[in-house]
Structure 1
Amino acid sequence: MAYTFTKDLETGNQLIDTEHRQLIDAINNLLTACSTGKGRAELANTTKFLQDYTAKHFGDEEKLQLQSQYPDYANHKRYHEEFKKVVAGICQKLEKDGPTVALVGEVNGAIAGWLINHIKREDVKVANHLKSKS
């Protein structure tokens, strides 16, 4: 089942929303590849994207939070750091064991689920804070 960038995922910040759309596109590309039997082949692309994405996107978000004096910055940064460890673990599994069906499932479930929940719960708070400052 593909993910859709719905209204409840919008933060109202153009940069953040654009980057979130890119994330959903990457997860959907993996899901599409899985549905055609090519999930394992796409896994390396997806994990590389996730590594690059978490570095850039989380950095962009954190910069906005610092500039706007977001009061829950420390917790939000901690969530980001924990997630980067999850992505690093997946990359290590890919390097060690290759692209397994189990790893594809982990990316589809754990990664996509975490990110969607994070956007809905945490990033929306940041967006509301940014709106209140403008």
Structure 2
Amino acid sequence: MLVQWRDDLSIGMLEIDVQHKLLFDKFNAFVNAYQSNQDTDEIMRMFWFLEAYAVTHFKEEEKLMQQVRFPDYAAHREKHLAFIDQINQLKERLKAEGLTQGVVNTMTTFITSWLIDHISTMDRAIGRFVINSAVPPGI
């Protein structure tokens, strides 16, 4: 299940929007690798890279929230930590069960819905806050 970027997911902050699009690209590369029966090691490398990029993105987003004094920083960070925890649980399941259709379906369903929901609600709130606060867009 590929996830497609939609313009309505844009939060109005170029740096964050570009990172979100890259998250979608990395996720889709993982799904495509699995669906095209690439080597298991290659598929796993794509998943680990997706995970690492998500963590990097979260750190950048959290740094931005601190810079602009985003009032819901703590709650937003908790969502990031919950995502990472869920990914860690999926990694453990991958280790135990291997790269099965069931595990991949669980992963893709979780990641797809989480990304779209998180971006369209939590991240959009950051964009609105920055715009309404007249925080310089370069931050």
Q: Which consecutive unaligned segments of at least 5 residues does structure 2 have?
A: none
Residues 16-67 of structure 1: CA deviation (Å, up to 9, x unaligned): 1111111111222233234434496654134302321232110000000011
Is the Cα contact below 8 Å between 2:26 and 2:46 reproduced in 1? yes
* In structure 2, C-alpha distance between the alignment counterparts of 1:61 and 1:32, rounded to whole Å: 27
CA RMSD in angstroms, aligned pairs only: 1.9
- State the distance in 1 between where 2:121 and 2:40 align: 31
Q: Tell me the distance in 2 between the aligned counterparts of 1:89 and 1:46.
A: 17
- Label 1:73 to 1:39 Cα distance change in 2 as closer, same or farther (>3 A): farther
Alignment of 1:1-134 (within 5 A): 1-38=1-38, 43-132=43-132, 133-134=135-136
- On the 8 A contact 2:34/2:43 being kept in 1, the answer is no
Extract structure 1 runs of 4+ deviating beyond 6 A. none
Structure 2 CA distance for aligned equivalents of residues 23 and 113 of structure 1: 13
- Letter matched to residue 82 of structure 1: A
Q: How many corresponding residue pairs? A: 134
Please give the alpha-carbon distance, in whole angstroms, between the structure 2 residues aligned to 1:26 and 1:8: 20
Change in Cα spacing, 1:81 to 1:18, as seen in structure 2 (3 Å) is same
Task: Give 5+ residue unaligned stretches, structure 1.
Answer: none
Contact 1:40–1:101, Cα closer than 8 Å, also in 2: no
Q: Percent identity?
A: 30
C-alpha contact 2:9 2:120 (8 A) present in aligned 1: yes
One-letter identity of the residue aligned with 2:58: F
**Structure 2 residue identity aligned to 1:20:** H
- In structure 1, how many angstroms separate the alpha carbons of the residues matched to 2:54 and 2:26? 13
3-state SS, counterpart of residue 64 of structure 2: helix
- Which amino acid is 1:95 matched to? K
Would the aligned equivalents of 1:51 and 1:88 in 2 still touch at CA under 8 Å? no
1:2 partner SS? coil
Give TM-score, length-normalised by structure 2: 0.85
SS in 1 for 2:112: helix
Q: Could you tell me how far 1:83 is from its partner in structure 2?
A: 0.5
| TM-score scaled by length of structure 1 | 0.88
